[in-house]
Structure 1
C-alpha cells in the first residue's frame, strides 16, 4: 500500500489499524479492550489485510491523530501474525473468537454455517434480500439445503431467484463481501474465488433434483413461461426417476440390491409400466413375485412416501454413475432390459 502525506487513501478502519500497529502491542491491546466486539472485529480485519505501509502514509495517518506522531515507527507491517500479537493481550476467549473469524478459509466457514440454518428462517431472510443476493447465496450452499429453502419461497420470488442463478457468472469479490456482511459478521472471501465454475443450468438442475415432485413441476412450468430455452436446458441436466430407464441391466440390479424390498416396492407403486418392467426384468422370477405381492399388500400409500423412495433411488443411481459403477445410456437410446 502506498500514498503521500496528503493522499493516503485509507478507510477509517485501516487508519485505526495503522495507529494501533504504530502504538505497539501493549498500548494497542489496552485500547482494543475498551472497544466493543464489532469494532475489535473491524480493526482486526483491517490489520490482517493491511500488509506493509510506507512511512509517508503512516505519517499522514498519525497527523490525523496528532499526539501519537512521536510513537510512529516509520514503516509498520500488518498481517495475521500482527493481529494475533495484538489480540493476545485480550482475554483468551475473546481473542480466540476474533482470530477464528479472521483465519481462513473464511468463505468456507460462512457457507458451511448457513447449512445449519433452518430453511424457513433462511427463506424468510432471502425473501427480504435483493433477488441477486439470494441467487448468490443459494448457488454457494449445499444443493439439498438450497432446494428446501427454495421450496419455502413464494413462486414469483422463487422463479426470479432461479432466473438470476441461471445468469449468475463470476461474481466480483466486493459484491461477495457485501453479501457476507449482510449475513452478519461473515468473513471476506479470497479475491480469486468465484461463485461457481459449473454450468449455471446444471447448478439449477441439481437444485431441482432435490425438490419434491410437486415443487419441481411447479417451478419448471413457471420457468418455462419465463424462458422456454432456459427450462429446456435445465431439463437436459436433470435426472428424474423415469430416467432410470437409461440405466443398464447390471446397474438396475445394483440398485435393487441396495434399495431394499420395502423402499423399492414403495418407489415402483408410482412408476410407469416401462420402468416397472425394467426392474422386474432384472429380477429372478421368485424375487419379482415377492415384490409384486409386497406392492399389493401395501394398499394405497401417500404420494410423499412414493416420491421419497423414488428420490432415494435417483440419488443412489447418481452416486453409482459418478463412481463409474453403473452405465447411463444417452437419452435417445432404448432402455436396456435383461
Structure 2
C-alpha cells in the first residue's frame, strides 16, 4: 500500500540531526495524522471521540520536530513504512488548521483554549525563572510563606537555590519546611499565583528602571564617537540638564583616571586583560 505524500521540513542532509526522544501513544498518533496531511487527517479524526481528539491535538500542538527515523518507526507500527524522508513538524497552528477542517469554530476554540492554557503556563514559568534572583526574592518577601513555597517548587532547583539565601535565614527555613511538607497545590490556587506573577512581576520586570535606563545611555555614550558626543553634549545639558548629569556620573572616561592613585592604577592594569587594554589604548 502506497503512503500519501507527507509535508516535510526539508531534506537537507547537512542540517543538524534531530534528537531522538521517547514518544507517548498520543504523540505517535499525532505523527500519523501529520503524515496523512490535513485532508486525510481531518477525515480520520472525524471518526474519533472528543476525548481522543483533545489528546491528539494536545500532543500535536507541542510535538515540535521529530526525527525521520522515529517517524518511520511509528509508521511501521501502523504497518506502513516511510523511507528517504525528513522529519515532520507538529505545531499549534497545524493542529488548529486540521481541527477547523471538520469541527465547528466554537468547538475548535474550546479545545484549543484548554490546550493553549498549559502552554502559556509553561512559558510563564520559563520567563519567571529567567529573571534575576534578586527580583524573584524581592517579590517572594512580600508573599505568604506558603505561596513562596509553591512558587519555588515550580522553578528549577538551580533558581530556587540562588533565591532562598536572599530571603534571610528565618524566612528561608520557614519556606524550605513548607516546601518539604507541601502536597499538590489546588488548580484554582495555582491559577491565582500565575495571574499574580504575570500581573505583578512579569509586566513590571520587562520595563527598565530609571537607573537602568541611565546606565544604558551611559554605556552608549562611552562607545559613541567622541566628536559626536562633544557636539550633542551642549544640547543635552540645555534640554535635559538633570538627567544628562546623572548619566554623565555613570560614564567612565580617561579623565577619571587622573583621580586614581598609583596603587589603584596598578590594580586596574593587573585585572584588565591585554586584549582589552590594547583596544582601550587605540
Same fold (TM over 0.5): no
Instruction: State the TM-score, normalized to the length of structure 1.
Output: 0.32
* TM-score, length of structure 2 as denominator length: 0.38
